[in-house]
Structure 1
Amino acid sequence: MTEQMVGFYTIVPEYILFKEAQGVMQIMDHQFVKHDDQVYHLLENKLDTYKYSESGLEFVSSMELERDCEYLSGDDSGMLYLSPEIYHLM
């Protein structure tokens, strides 16, 4: 893995271990956001929170959402933004 420039940003890949194996059937729709020492993971209607450390990701909590979401983002203050699947809006 090497650094890559994307516009004015340098993308630096990092391999992050989970302390416990994560078994899921879905492999393509995962969304992650890291803020300070917290990592948030969105898959469909489940938002998991992990604590990030040098030794890996340690599970903190899980939240079931009212509907499936397809996009997760965050800002510098730690605020998370979730977007529902587009077909739920019609």
Structure 2
Amino acid sequence: MSEIALQTEVTRALRALAIRGEPMNKTVSVKMVVMIDREGLKNMPKGMGRSEQLKWMAASLRTSLKASRHRGAVRSRSVRSLLENSRAESGEVSD
């Protein structure tokens, strides 16, 4: 995620807090969730130091919207693949 994209997400989060009535003139504690894709971790180059690993992982961060779209695309491909395999096994002709 680029610095500009990260700033955009932080701005959106702050706006949402302001809308909820959180005080904007003092420190507020906020929890965020970061999900790690196991398959993505398998693609991490071997032999990297801890600092390099953190930079590599930070570059792969996505917004929740992008992650949701990615999961939807993966789910859609999985369902399509299952249907195609089922049709092939039953002898149906694929479109």
- TM-score, length of structure 1 as denominator length: 0.23
Instruction: Determine which structure has more spread, i.e. the larger CA radius of gyration.
Output: 2
- TM-score, length of structure 2 as denominator length: 0.22
More helix by share: 2
